[in-house]
Structure 1
């Protein structure tokens, strides 16, 4: 599995999953209102206040930087847990 860390295909799939999860969360929030709980990944912020667009833009595959790409992959996995 370690050979998949930083894989563009895996990261793209995670990004799509996060987008789908965020869409479901926004749908629930529109009906019930935001739920104020700390984010698992960013405990200093409320989970409902995370700017997912900015996070998805920042943590992306960078072809010339495998170290950052692997970090970004791990962060995307953590954001799935956070959602």
Structure 2
């Protein structure tokens, strides 16, 4: 499975997963109010206050930079867990 680490298709899928999860969270929050708990990935921040647009822009596939793309892959997996 390590051959998939950092591949553009995997990153695109993870970005979609994070976006879908965030949409579901926003739907629940609109009915029940925000759950003010520390973020798993960023423990110094409250999970509902994370700027996911900025995070998704930062953690993206970069053509020719395999190491950063692999780092982005792991970071996006961590955001799925965090959500």
Q: TM-score, normalised by structure 1?
A: 0.98
Count of aligned positions: 83
Q: Give the equivalent residue in structure 1 for 2:79.
A: 79
Verify: 1:57 aligned to 2:57, yes or no: yes
5+ residue gaps, structure 1 = none
TM-score (norm 2): 0.98
CA distance in 2, matches of 1:38, 1:64: 35
Runs of 4+ in 1 over 3 A off after TM superposition: none
RMSD: 0.5
CA distance in 2, matches of 1:66, 1:9: 14
CA distance in 2, matches of 1:55, 1:23: 15
Cα distance in structure 2, aligned partners of 1:67 and 1:7: 11
Match in the other structure for 1:67: 67
Gaps of 5+ in 2: none
